[in-house]
Amino acid sequence: MCWWICFTRGLTRASRFIDKNLMSSNHSSLEQAETSGARRPFIAGRPPRFGRKRRKPSPGQSEALGWPVLKALVRNPAAISGAVLLLALILLAIFAGALFPGDPLDIVAQPLLVPGQDPQYWLGTDSLGRNVLAELAHGSRASLAIGVTAALIGVVIGTLIGALAGYFGGWVDDILMRVTELFQTTPSFLFVIVIVSIGHPSMTVISLAIGVTSWPTITRLVRAEFRSLAQSDFVMAARSLGFGHARIIWREMLPNALPPIIVTTSVMVATAILMESALSFLGMGDPNVVSWGSMIGDGREMLRTAWYLTALPGGALVLTVLALNMLGDGLNDALNPRLSERSS
């Protein structure tokens, strides 16, 4: 019996010795791995990563993700047609001086040449013998310049007033909205006529007059957008970080309100072009600059005998306004997330 007790004690001691050697070998291997850099140390504040690494998007995928508005515009045939037509008109206005050098108001040929009668003057001449095609090309400069300038003036004024009213609210909103309603209840065209009559009828005065009377529409739009964004999470986060009012308005809220502003701007350009044409039709435009409205006004007395004197500039106006409206509708479909989800 004694030999059995000695045998079991020997086995116990042997097993303890083996376990001790194994633990020491494992501990030494771990220390060696840490010193060799095979094991990555834990960095405070950095959560461990599990699973597969995230792949970076390819250049094609990043471009597709970065240009959703452009993709939506390309899919819209009406927007593409409007953009191409508007680009053609802009190029005609830019290169009008190179295509038709000289003053378009100069008398160059026999009066009242019908379009196609003389190959040198494709669209004929007016009652004074001026080239109708040259007048159309140079008239696009005045119409587009006044339309874009007046729209920019209205957008700047309207965005500033609407942003302040929508962001601050309270008595600031009340005062600014009362001023907006005062301008909005006054007929815009009559207001423009009064301003142009007081000042000299030049392109600068006409642009300022149209811009000053067109800002109430954009003001109400921007005010509504800012009121809806005032309680957003990113605005509350910016306030909690201590950002100033100017930074929150112009760098945080305004970029999120740009889509409806861009769409409305295209409509404002078309409205300004029509308003300038109406002024020129009434003889209140710049007398030293040819415009489509003045061409229509000069040809209205010969509508039966020389219909093209009114139809050609009128058609140019229709095409310009149509191109702007088609492009505005396409931008609305592309920038509006609800409409884009329905179309997709």
Query: What's the pTM value of the predicted model, to 2 decimals?
Result: 0.76
Cβ–Cβ < 8 Å for 193, 206: no
Please report where in the chains the tokens 């515009």 appear, as a residue: 73
Cα gap 211→223, rounded to integer Å: 19
Q: Given this model, what pLDDT does residue 13 score? A: 55
Tokens, residue 36: 């060799």
Q: Given this model, what pLDDT does residue 73 score? A: 75
Tokens, residue 220: 């109400």
The answer regarding whether domain 73-343 maps to CATH 3.40.50.300 reads no
Per-residue pLDDT of the chain (344 residues; tens, 9 = 90+): 444 444 445 445 545 544 455 444 444 443 444 444 444 443 344 444 444 444 444 443 333 334 676 777 788 888 899 999 999 999 999 999 899 998 888 888 888 888 888 888 889 898 889 999 999 999 999 999 999 999 999 999 999 999 999 999 889 999 999 999 999 888 889 999 999 988 888 899 999 999 999 999 899 999 999 998 888 888 888 888 888 888 999 888 988 888 889 889 999 999 999 999 999 998 898 888 899 999 999 888 888 888 999 999 999 999 999 999 999 888 888 877 555 554 55
Largest CA distance in the chain: 143
Cβ neighbours for 344, distance < 8 A, ≥ 6 positions apart: none
Q: Given this model, what pLDDT does residue 18 score? A: 45
